[in-house]
Amino acid sequence: MGPKIKAQPRAVAEPEIPVEYPTVKDKLEAEYLESRPYEVLKAKKGFSGMSAAEKSAYANYIFLETGVWKNWAASQQKDFWALVEKQKIPLPLPKPQPLGKDFRGRDLETYTPQEYQEYQKKQTRLRQLEAESKRWREIHIDGDERIEEFEEEESQEVEKQRRKEIGDLKGKAMGRYESDPTWDDVKPIPQDDGEGALAQIAYTDEYSEAMGYLRAIMAANEHTPRVLGLTEHIIGMNAAHYTVWLYRASTLFALNSSIAEELTWLNEVALVNQKNYQIWHHRQLLIDQLYTTISSSPSDLEELAKSELEFMMQMFAEDSKNYHVWSYRQYLVRKLDLFSSAPELASVEALLREDVRNNSAWSHRFFIVFSNPSYCTPTSKATEPDPAIPATVIDRELNFAKAATFEAPQNQSPWNYLRGVLRKADRKLSTEEEFASQFVQDLEKDTVDIKSSHALDFLADVWEETGEVEKADRALTLLGDTFDRVRKNYWEWRRKALKKD
Amino acid sequence: MATDNLDSLLKSNPQPPQTGFIVDDTEAISSSGEAGDFANREFVHRVGPSSYPAMMSARIASASTVPDLFTTHPLLRDFLVTESSQIQDETVDECLPFLSGLQQGITFNEHGVPHLDRRRHIQFLHKGLRNLPSQFVAADASRPWMFYWALAGLSAMGEDVSEYRERIISTLRPIQNPTGGFGGGNGQMSHLASTYAALLSLAIVGGKEAFNLVDRKSMWEWLSVLKQPDGGFQMSVGGEEDIRGAYCAAVIITLLDLPLELSRESPAWTSNGATLLTNLPEWVAKCQSFEGGFSGRPDAEAHGAYAFCALACLCVLGDPHIIIPKYIDVPRLISWLSSRQYAPEGGFSGRTNKLVDGCYSHWVGGCWPLLEASLDGPFQGHSGKEGSAEAISNTSVGSLFSREGLIRYILCCCQDFGKRGGLRDKPSHMSDSYHTCYVLAGLSSAQHKWHFNASTDNEPDSTLTSAYQWTAEPVLDDSQIYDEQDRVEMLHPVFVICQGRAEEMRAYFASQGGL
């Protein structure tokens, strides 16, 4: 193609067929040479091979190229230009400079001439848009009051489109906030990491930009609806960001936003971020706030308790021992006084039916039973006796723990629960000696048969209580030597304590 | 044996021969004398009938050096299967090959325990201080932790971290807020956990310049605002109140030797002179659950991490043998803590019926030195050889947990033996800085015996001096299952940084006087 066309005799005075160059670089180089016909001629023929006219034209070309004529007298310059015109010496073009690269990193010199033309058009458009956008910002940031509200909205849309086009032309979309005219009044504050900071994180552009805007918003102490969108955006990228959560909460309250809507949104966030402190503290702040508005309406409170329980059970379906959810649940029970609530106890029992080893559920049961303000002493610690607890409650709980023990005697949860209940009741462990003995046969014989090391542990304490030191010692020795060997040092320490008594 | 057969076996095991006892098929064959250079073997174990093929005898040899306690499922198991028991059984099955000394490609000593791969763990922690890829964005609100975990872990392995001094200072400078305290990063609200981690990082690198970075006056004002009328501390202004706050605040107050009175801005301020410490031990005591362990805040479930926070907080506030029994039910706590250790795994779990996790090597393991000192009372010196089991048992309750079990779990199950290095939760988990730090801290408490020395009161005008009365000695006994080269440094039982660093920081600020 190219070479063939080039090979055509150019001197023929037919209508000129435009030469097609494969790249813009080729074209520019050809044009460069075309603007220096006498230089080309000299290279071809040598100076001595040139005619006198050609030599003269060559000399004038050199004057043109070097620009020495500029130092001549005006009349001389006039003669010179007349001669240049007469000899048809083209103005020599400067040597083509590298064109650089486009936004994709492609060398512009490898563009075809047509492509390059398109490119230049786009660049012109880009410069124009950027100038318009700059002007737009100048007007709007200065808050030009002559602009009617309606117009402003319309022009905001136009400006938004303009920025999108700028992004397209640059091959790099503008950040979410930079491209949005409603954020023009905020000047993002970059993160100051200090010189050569350790453990610097290579943030995505999206995260960096959003955080830059948040820092600016916080510096201005702004609490407006757009802050909710910004904080939601950041939380979606990093849910562990406590500063963002706390700022969001203060904004919600400042705006008097709908707590119900926030809770619905929060449910989704919680389900995808299982191990997160902040979500649950945020929820607690929301409930504290909501409570002040519905505390006089029993039906609203009941509704809230119901929906919260439903959501927590959804969380427990993912992880029935999620510490944050359980801690929140304890908070909620106190806040809404759910100690005597039937669904509260029932749902804990349901979780235990599913997995009797779920110690979180056991702990929660202990809390709702033994911290119930309708009968408990408010200052009584979990490890202390509370004489205010009714005996019926104590007996019910003892039976509950014991029944669970039969399902899986080596499950420590109900054994710990049993001890906890006896402590609350201020009853001696020996009151349950008979029960615990069912899991221990032939203690004194070689044929000793143990169903539960926890029963043996329990009995050792019982016998210490009753002064049956030898039996206690035998139980502790069996634990250390056979049934719970990894804790041998602990059992030995208990044995030593027996002897001291 | 045919050469090609041997080649294929060698290919299946890309590990180069190392010193020590490698138990896998390739090396077992090697030890029969058909391949390899064994001059550098520290130990080659041969037991069993001589008629056994060499390969068999090596396998049995290694397995037989590990007590069956750590190689078999527990004796007592219930028939009832629930989700808890299922994942517990899976975890045991996951750990057994590592504990039995049979895992391919790992070098075990004569006790079936691998070496601590210091070189790789050190490399792993250094890497955590370099530029991090964008996936680390979740750590953006806890960067001071990244510094602390790496520096504490490196110094535990004997690395000199003073090369980081300048950069720790310049990195923390923009993270400190003019209103007091350090946030998770530049422009973030101050947080007690970040501040704790930042201060300990400064203490680890040490030096006047590092200490001078801290603005004590604004720190004191900020702590006053966090102090709650019920005695506890919020983690950040308007944030959650929990037992981490109690521990972190106590550490900050003592390290910086802050005045104890409250500023007028404090929600806990009273006209009768309530202080930063008023009702703090009482608040901590309210977190002891019916099981004996501690919860993150009152009413919740007992959890290993919070047990450490509770005990370490109390040990800042007073002498362990006085303050611990004064505020908590010690026998129930010890019973619960002791129940955290499982066999065959050997490591600790964080809660009843939950799984072992390497990080509890510290959170639970780190409770033992504090409790043992509380039971022992002030240290009076030894009769007998330093560090020997006999000498220790003459003056102490000794160990209340199985040091061997914990060390086996750490060295066998928590190390990433691959190129990545670092320590981990359990074999199926990836290593990270957090686990590397706390697994090493647990290893340190298992390898040393701590003593609390009676308060000497040599700082008559200052308070909170109890935490500076601790000394340690290495535990040296005949049953030691790890090699001396695998002993890590002594980490202070309250501050969890190398011994001497907290003391230096405190002495500096005590000499500075008032704010």
- pLDDT tens by residue, B216-244: 999 999 999 999 999 999 999 999 999 99
Burial environment of residue B455 by CB neighbours within 10 A (0 to 12, 13 to 18, 19 or more)? middle
Count of beta carbons in the 10 Å neighbourhood of residue B447: 22
Q: What is the pLDDT of residue B145?
A: 97
Determine which helix (DSSP H) or strand (DSSP E) holds B450, and give its type and residue range.
strand B448-452
Q: What is the mean pLDDT of residues B157-167?
A: 95
Helix H, strand E, coil C: the string for A176-223 is CCCCCHHHCCCCCCCCCCCCCCCCCECCCHHHHHHHHHHHHHHHCCCC
C-alpha–C-alpha distance, residues A97 and A25, integer Å:
10
More confident residue, A139 or B475: B475
Q: Is B498 a catalytic residue?
A: no
Q: What is the pLDDT, as a whole number, of residue B31?
A: 32
pLDDT of amino acid A18: 74
Q: What is the mean pLDDT of chain B?
A: 86
Task: Over range B260-266, report the average pLDDT.
Answer: 95
Contact check, Cβ <8 Å, A413/B147: no
Average pLDDT over residues B401-406: 96
Q: Which of A240, A248, A292, A323 is nearest to B238 (CA)?
A: A248
pLDDT bucket at B479, cuts 50 / 70 / 90: confident
List the beta bridge partners of residue B108: B21, B114
Output the CA–CA distances (angstroms, integers) from residue A297 to A253, A292, A306, A329, B374, in the order listed: 21, 10, 14, 21, 52
Residues B397-414 have a mean pLDDT of: 94
Domain boundaries, chain B: 118-512
What pLDDT sits at residue B250? 98
pLDDT at B55: 41
B468 is catalytic: no
| ipTM field | 0.86
Element (H, E) at B473: strand B470-474
The predicted pLDDT at position A217 comes to: 96
Q: Please give, rounded to a whole number of angstroms, the shortest distance from the CA of B399 to a CA of chain A.
A: 6
Encode chain A (501 residues) as per-residue pLDDT tens digits: 444 444 444 454 556 677 889 999 999 999 999 999 998 999 999 889 989 888 989 998 999 888 888 999 999 999 999 989 998 899 899 899 988 988 888 899 999 999 899 999 989 999 998 888 888 887 776 655 555 554 555 578 888 888 888 888 888 888 899 999 889 999 999 998 877 899 999 999 999 999 999 999 999 999 999 999 999 999 999 999 999 999 999 999 999 999 999 999 999 999 998 888 899 999 999 999 999 999 999 999 999 999 999 999 999 999 999 999 999 999 999 999 999 999 999 999 999 999 999 999 999 999 999 999 999 999 999 999 999 999 999 999 999 999 999 999 999 999 999 999 999 999 999 999 999 999 999 888 888 899 999 999 999 999 999 999 999 999 999 999 999 999 999 999 999 999 876
Domain boundaries, chain A: 112-183, 360-427, 433-501
pLDDT of residue B226: 98
On whether any CB of chain B is under 8 Å from the CB of A442, the answer is no
What's the confidence (pLDDT) of residue A167? 86
> Of the candidates B214, B227, B151, B150, which has an alpha carbon nearest to the alpha carbon of residue B180?
B214
The whole-angstrom separation of Cα A149 and Cα A170 is: 31
Dist. CA A430–CA A446, nearest whole Å: 25
B432 in active site? yes
Which residue from B85, B138, B174 is facing A192, i.e. has the nearest CB?
B174
Quote the pLDDT of residue B140: 94
pLDDT of B14 over the 50 cut: no
Segment B181-221, tens digit of pLDDT: 999 999 999 999 999 999 999 999 999 999 999 999 999 99
Please tell me the pTM assigned to this model: 0.83
- Judge whether residue B36 has pLDDT over 50: no
Question: What residue type is assigned to position B239 of the chain?
Answer: G
A307 touches chain B (CB under 8 A): no
Which segment of A106-110, B47-51, B160-164, B305-309 scores lowest on mean pLDDT?
B47-51
For residue B139, the model assigns a pLDDT of: 93
| B302 touching A (Cβ < 8 Å) | yes
> Strand (E) positions, B12-112?
21-22, 107-108
Distance CA A291, CA B84 (A): 36
Q: How confident is the model at residue B385 (pLDDT cuts 50, 70, 90)?
A: low
The answer to whether B482 is a known catalytic residue is no
- Hey, which residues 64-93 in chain B have their CB within 8 Å of chain A? 69, 75-80, 82-85
Domain B118-512 has CATH 2.60.120.10: no
Q: Which of A486, A488, A492, A495 has the highest number of chain B CBs within 10 A, making it the mutation to test binding with B?
A: A486
